[in-house]
């Protein structure tokens, strides 16, 4: 499962090709020194490393096209990278080659209120896009935990989810059109600005979530919604995570679809509290964070029903945030859960299993049993309303190979259990290099073959993101 | 390629501190040098990965990227408050420079400044000649610390501080706090000097420099140290007028005061009490002075300062106030180059202006 570290040394890219790359982007945007390459060896995923031969930062779609044409001609691997905040080793250059960074492509090209859409270059951060929409009274709902740093191009490439997924869906529900450079250098524009458009296969959806294996996304057109007039957040405390899971089922069964239903177990609460000092209940075993937005009266009614459902499910306390700042603090703290967990141990391996909502409480209980059986410390949080769980294994040190082996066995069992309950091995983080070994278990051999044939049709030379989807 | 002796793993950095970062990247938007380059190597996450490559021997000690990035970093620690994992980046940077900037690898400007800072007698004489504050310790419970370079560059600052808090003792015989050493490759000497100063001065040590405050309190304890605005609390009088209206004033945070000690509300409250306070959008971002940085890397220092001067010019303010002498010098130079009409003052001088 874990890749070996490539050794530093002579670049694997021919001198003549380097000269051409240099001519395309200029010297300061082509990095070749050892120290400049080491920092692109990893992303936010632990344990996966691969040192590239070059890092290249093009300024626009045209430059990307020229780079990819060269790469295909010379068989040089290209790994597209946004902010490198993904959690599936999707941007690790496992076989060397070039890391293609979109960090210079950061222009918001337009916000069109009359069409309720925005157009941005791939390197724009999710938060910057959201702020630009808000300035025109509009709303871009997908909000992955890393929204302050993640890029819209990376969000589309991984079909990122987030805290508002329950009511608003995920990135794919908002992508109207894409500008994509194929590995062979052609520039294609899929979809566009239309709400209805069925001309041809839905390539926009195919490329959304393709994890940089089919083409390099350089520009994105997203649909926007009107900014909701009110948004509120509240907390309910429970004795156990399984109990919080049951409350989630009850809330949804009562016909309420809030924007946010997140839960954290005790370990996660401790880590978040240490960072954010929110004054969370110290005696509770689990916390359910709920939020809703829209018209004030409707939000108030939805909050009453959520509070009632939590209380009848055995909540030991229910609080609602006083104002927007307090709401924002709660949501920010939830988004920081994963990095905050590293306060408990220096190696955190996180997973992303997803199950049908009614099986949530059962999945939580099964994870606990698996963790106990394999003697690993497991902290669990997740998007409870989506049935999407992030069990996170915390280890003292990255050198603890025996502990890592136990964690791997525990995660293999968790994946197996998720599939058995009708779920999946990744809800929103993606497959990347981290989950590729488990993919066939979920998809079966016929789909795996189809995926490989699609990959070959897009990328005949196999240069884009090798070792990931379609490889 | 000639390389120095490769150190064994764990000898440069505290392994516990170095292993804390999980590379989530939440620090990227906070980093002023990443904003300039959009290159991972000049981000906090990238630099920690460089430190790890040095620590493991993957990169040799004389690797040019290591040298460049250890020096390009402002050391502003803006990455710390945004880090959910609690990585102590400032501490790691001190350890990195402690190795990177030994002997001939230390920048010339840094060598000169440390040499100068060690000449305590010269600061004492210069301070007395230039008219920095002086008040013998008789009966005082707390003391005012005199910055090494502040004494001769801005002698009025300590006079104003003493006027605002006349109960403080200000002995001229006091050494350097060692912040300069700690941030520039001599962490051991930095701690030693802070310890000596802590023994020299009675009671709580009040400073007019955010950088000194953060370093001192890391060594001798948070409760022994107070930055001036923190010490004064609400003890201010008067108003600063511009003709018949209140003066409009903005604050430039001191990076280490804000990111290291979480002191930023206090100076704002004071300014708001005596004038019309205006928050600059980037008040919390480094001005580029960054201790020795303005001398070691003048060009980058000006690139960091540029957008800040734009903000100051656009804010329609009369004064911009600093809580650190280095920032004050940097702001004054930037405003002068722009021929701006906005005046930069140290908070002690601004509050004294209100009281007079």
pLDDT digits (tens, 9 = 90+) for A230-283: 999 999 999 999 899 999 999 999 899 999 999 999 999 999 999 989 889 989
Query: Is B53 within 8 Å of A35 when comparing Cβ atoms?
Result: yes
Q: How far is CA B166 from CA A367, B133, B174, in A?
A: 64, 11, 18
Rounded mean pLDDT, B182-207:
94
Closest residue to B59, CB basis, from A34, A339, A397: A34
This complex has an ipTM of 0.94
Q: Find the residue in A nearest to B63 (Cα).
A: A35
**Is the pLDDT score of B4 beyond 70?**
no
Query: Is B26 within 8 Å of A274 when comparing Cβ atoms?
Result: no
DSSP string, A270-317: HHHHHHH-----SS-SEEEEEEEEESHHHHHHHHHHHHHHHHHTT-SE
Query: Is A83 within 8 Å of B38 when comparing Cβ atoms?
Result: no
pLDDT of residue A11: 60
**Is the pLDDT score of A421 beyond 50?**
yes
For B312-340, b/e burial (b = at least 16 CB within 10 A) is beebebbbbbbbbbbbbbbbbbbbeeeeb
CA gap B325, A47 in Å, rounded: 45
Helix ranges, B57-119 (H) = 64-72, 89-100, 108-117
Q: Find the residue in B nearest to A81 (Cα).
A: B40
The gap from C-alpha A181 to its chain's centroid, in whole angstroms, comes to 22
300-329 in A: which are within 8 Å (CB) of B? none
Task: Catalogue the E-assigned strands of chain B.
Answer: 143-144, 205-207, 225-227, 241-242, 245-246, 248-252, 276-278, 319-322, 343-346
Query: Is A104 within 8 Å of B26 when comparing Cβ atoms?
Result: no
Name the one residue in this structure whose structure tokens are 């803006």. Answer: B78
pLDDT of residue A219: 98
CA gap A444, A456 in Å, rounded: 19
Rounded percentage of chain B residues whose pLDDT exceeds 90: 81
Q: How far is CA A373 from CA A323, A361, A402, in A?
A: 43, 19, 15
Q: What distance in Å separates residue B29's CA from the closest CA in chain A?
A: 6
Categorize the per-residue pLDDT at B281 as very low, low, confident or very high, splitting at 50, 70 and 90.
very high
Task: Catalogue the E-assigned strands of A153-194.
Answer: 175-181, 187-191
pLDDT digits (tens, 9 = 90+) for A87-96: 999 999 999 9
pLDDT digits (tens, 9 = 90+) for A354-406: 999 889 989 999 999 999 999 999 999 999 999 999 999 999 888 889 999 99
Are B153 and B345 spatial neighbours (Cβ–Cβ below 8 Å)?
A: no
Categorize the per-residue pLDDT at B135 as very low, low, confident or very high, splitting at 50, 70 and 90.
confident
CA gap B149, B145 in Å, rounded: 12
Rounded mean pLDDT, B319-326:
97
Q: Is B284 helix (H, G, I), strand (E, B) or coil?
A: coil
Q: What average pLDDT does the structure give for chain B?
A: 93
Residue B106: how many other CB atoms lie within 10 Å? 18
Q: What average pLDDT does the structure give for chain A?
A: 93
pLDDT digits (tens, 9 = 90+) for B336-345: 999 999 999 9
For residue B108, what is the DSSP state?
A: H
Q: In what order do the strands lie in the sheet with B205-207?
A: B143-144, B205-207, B225-227
Q: And the tokens for B71?
A: 């020096």
**Which is more confidently placed, A219 or B126?**
A219
- Strand-pairing partners, residue A389, are A382
pLDDT digits (tens, 9 = 90+) for A282-315: 899 999 999 999 999 999 999 999 999 999 999 9
Q: If phi over 0 gives left and psi between -120 and 50 gives alpha, with beta otherwise, what is residue B221?
A: left
pLDDT digits (tens, 9 = 90+) for A20-49: 999 999 999 999 999 999 999 999 999 999
Q: How far is CA A368 from CA A31, A166, A241, A376, in A?
A: 46, 24, 10, 10
pLDDT of residue B2: 38
**Is the pLDDT score of A4 beyond 50?**
no
pLDDT of residue B7: 66
Name the one residue in this structure whose structure tokens are 């280490």. Answer: B256
pLDDT digits (tens, 9 = 90+) for B291-311: 999 999 999 999 999 999 999
pLDDT of residue A324: 73
Angle CA A211–A161–A249, to nearest 5? 135
Query: Which of A8, A31, A38 has the highest number of chain B CBs within 10 A, making it the mutation to test binding with B?
Result: A38
Q: And the tokens for B320?
A: 């911009």
Q: By the CB < 8 Å criterion, does A144 face chain B?
A: no
Rounded mean pLDDT, A129-156:
97
Residue A376: how many other CB atoms lie within 10 Å? 21
Are A380 and A392 spatial neighbours (Cβ–Cβ below 8 Å)?
A: yes
Q: By the CB < 8 Å criterion, does A85 face chain B?
A: yes
Q: For residue B273, report the phi and psi dihedrals to the nearest 5 degrees.
A: -75, -25
Query: Is A343 within 8 Å of B85 when comparing Cβ atoms?
Result: yes
**Is the pLDDT score of B334 beyond 70?**
yes
Residue B48: how many other CB atoms lie within 10 Å? 25
Q: By the CB < 8 Å criterion, does A125 face chain B?
A: yes
Query: Is A44 within 8 Å of B58 when comparing Cβ atoms?
Result: no
Q: Find the residue in A nearest to B27 (Cα).
A: A149
pLDDT of residue B126: 85
**Is the pLDDT score of A8 beyond 60?**
no
Q: What distance in Å separates residue B234's CA from the closest CA in chain A?
A: 26
Q: What distance in Å separates residue B142's CA from the closest CA in chain A?
A: 32
Categorize the per-residue pLDDT at B5 as very low, low, confident or very high, splitting at 50, 70 and 90.
low
Q: And the tokens for B92?
A: 């790691």
Closest listed residue to residue B73, CA positions, set B296, B333, B327? B296
Q: What distance in Å separates residue B51's CA from the closest CA in chain A?
A: 10
CA gap B73, B157 in Å, rounded: 29
pLDDT of residue B206: 97
How many beta-carbon contacts under 8 Å exist across A and B?
A: 105
Q: How far is CA A101 from CA A9, A79, A107, A181, in A?
A: 21, 8, 15, 14
Q: Which residues have C-beta within 8 Å of that of residue A253, sequence separation ≥ 6? A: none
Are B66 and A35 spatial neighbours (Cβ–Cβ below 8 Å)?
A: yes
CA gap A283, B136 in Å, rounded: 54
Categorize the per-residue pLDDT at B130 as very low, low, confident or very high, splitting at 50, 70 and 90.
confident
Categorize the per-residue pLDDT at B246 as very low, low, confident or very high, splitting at 50, 70 and 90.
very high
CA gap A256, A279 in Å, rounded: 28
Angle CA A276–A279–A284, to nearest 5? 110
pLDDT of residue A1: 35
Closest residue to B49, CB basis, from A38, A103, A348: A38
pLDDT of residue B9: 66
Categorize the per-residue pLDDT at A10 as very low, low, confident or very high, splitting at 50, 70 and 90.
low
Q: And the tokens for B205?
A: 């040590």
pLDDT digits (tens, 9 = 90+) for A162-194: 899 999 999 999 999 999 999 999 999 999 999
CA gap B39, A304 in Å, rounded: 48
Residue A277: how many other CB atoms lie within 10 Å? 10
**Is the pLDDT score of A2 beyond 50?**
no
CA gap A285, A266 in Å, rounded: 5
Are B95 and B13 spatial neighbours (Cβ–Cβ below 8 Å)?
A: yes
**Is the pLDDT score of A85 beyond 80?**
yes
pLDDT of residue B198: 95
CA gap A149, B24 in Å, rounded: 9
**Is the pLDDT score of A7 beyond 50?**
no
Q: How far is CA B167 from CA B124, B140, B201, B270, B356, in A?
A: 21, 6, 14, 19, 18
């Amino acid at each position: 499962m874990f890749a070996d570290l490539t050794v530093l040394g002579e670049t694997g890219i021919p001198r003549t090709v380097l000269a051409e790359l240099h001519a395309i982007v200029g010297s300061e945007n082509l990095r070749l020194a050892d120290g400049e390459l080491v920092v692109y060896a990893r992303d936010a995923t632990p344990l996966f490393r691969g040192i590239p031969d070059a890092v290249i930062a093009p300024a626009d779609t045209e430059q990307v096209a020229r780079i990819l044409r060269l790469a295909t001609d010379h068989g040089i691997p290209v790994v597209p990278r946004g902010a490198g905040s993904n959690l599936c080793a999707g941007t690790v250059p496992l076989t060397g080659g070039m890391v293609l960074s979109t960090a210079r492509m950061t222009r918001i090209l337009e916000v069109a209120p009359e069409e309720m859409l925005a157009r941005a270059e791939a390197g724009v951060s999710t938060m910057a896009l959201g702020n630009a929409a808000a300035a025109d009274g509009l709303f871009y709902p997908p909000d992955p935990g890393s929204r302050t740093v993640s890029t819209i191009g990376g969000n589309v490439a991984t079909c990122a989810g987030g805290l508002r997924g329950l009511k608003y869906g995920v990135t794919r529900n908002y992508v109207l059109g894409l500008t994509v450079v194929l590995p062979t250098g052609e520039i294609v524009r899929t979809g566009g600005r239309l709400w209805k458009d069925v001309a041809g296969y839905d390539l926009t959806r195919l490329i959304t979530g393709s994890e940089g294996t089919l083409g390099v996304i350089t520009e994105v057109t997203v649909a926007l919604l009107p900014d909701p007039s009110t948004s509120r957040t509240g907390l309910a405390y429970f004795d156990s995570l399984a109990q919080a899971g049951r409350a989630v089922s009850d809330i949804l069964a009562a016909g309420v679809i809030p924007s946010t239903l997140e839960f954290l177990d005790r370990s996660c609460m401790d880590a978040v509290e240490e960072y954010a000092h929110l004054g969370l209940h110290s005696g509770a075993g689990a916390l359910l964070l709920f939020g809703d937005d829209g018209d004030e009266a409707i939000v108030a009614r939805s909050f009453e029903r959520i509070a009632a459902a939590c209380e009848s499910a055995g909540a030991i306390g229910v609080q609602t945030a006083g104002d927007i700042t307090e709401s924002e603090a709660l949501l920010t703290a939830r988004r920081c859960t994963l990095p905050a967990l590293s306060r408990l141990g220096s190696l955190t391996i996180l997973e992303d299993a997803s199950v049908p909502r009614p099986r949530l409480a059962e999945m939580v209980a099964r994870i606990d049993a698996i963790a106990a059986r394999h003697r690993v410390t497991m902290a669990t949080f997740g998007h409870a309303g989506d049935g999407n769980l992030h069990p996170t294994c915390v280890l003292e040190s990255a050198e603890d190979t025996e502990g890592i082996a136990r964690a791997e066995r525990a995660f293999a069992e968790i994946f197996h259990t998720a599939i058995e309950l009708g779920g999946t091995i990744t809800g929103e983080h993606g497959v990347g290099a981290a989950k590729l070994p488990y993919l066939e278990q979920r998809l079966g051999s016929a789909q795996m073959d189809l995926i490989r044939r699609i990959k070959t049709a897009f990328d005949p030379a196999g240069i884009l993101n090798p070792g990931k989807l379609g490889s | 390629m000639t390389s120095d002796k490769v150190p064994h793993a764990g000898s440069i950095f505290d392994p516990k501190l170095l292993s804390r970062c999980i590379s989530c990247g939440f620090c990227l938007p906070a980093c002023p040098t990443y904003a300039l380059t959009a290159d991972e190597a000049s981000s906090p996450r990238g630099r920690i990965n460089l430190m790890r490559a040095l620590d493991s021997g993957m990169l040799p000690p004389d690797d040019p990227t290591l040298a460049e990035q250890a020096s390009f970093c402002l050391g502003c620690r803006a990455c710390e408050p945004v880090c959910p994992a609690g990585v102590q980046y400032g501490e790691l940077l001190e350890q990195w420079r402690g190795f990177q900037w030994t002997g001939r690898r230390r920048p010339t400007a840094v060598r000169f400044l440390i040499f100068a800072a060690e000449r305590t007698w010269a600061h004492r004489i210069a301070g007395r000649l230039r008219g920095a504050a002086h008040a013998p310790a008789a009966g005082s419970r707390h003391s005012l610390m005199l910055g090494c370079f502040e004494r001769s560059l801005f002698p009025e600052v300590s006079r104003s501080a003493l006027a605002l808090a006349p109960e403080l003792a200000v002995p001229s015989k006091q050494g350097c706090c060692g912040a300069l050493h700690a941030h520039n490759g001599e962490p051991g000497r930095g701690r030693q000097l802070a310890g000596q100063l802590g023994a020299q001065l009675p009671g709580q040590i009040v400073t007019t420099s955010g950088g000194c405050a953060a370093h001192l309190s890391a060594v001798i304890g948070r409760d022994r140290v107070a930055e001036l605005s923190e010490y004064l609390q609400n003890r201010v009088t008067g108003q600063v007028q511009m003709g018949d209206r209140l003066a409009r004033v903005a604050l430039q945070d001191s990076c280490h005061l804000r990111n290291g000690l979480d002191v930023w509300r206090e100076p704002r409250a004071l300014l708001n009490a005596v004038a019309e306070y205006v928050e600059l959008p980037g008040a919390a971002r480094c001005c580029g002075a960054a201790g020795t940085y303005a001398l070691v890397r003048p060009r980058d220092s000006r690139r960091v300062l540029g957008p800040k001067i734009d903000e100051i010019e656009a804010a329609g303010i009369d004064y911009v106030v600093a809580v650190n002498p280095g920032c004050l010098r940097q702001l004054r130079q930037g405003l002068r180059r722009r021929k701006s009409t906005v005046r930069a003052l140290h908070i002690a001088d601004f509050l004294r202006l209100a009281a007079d």
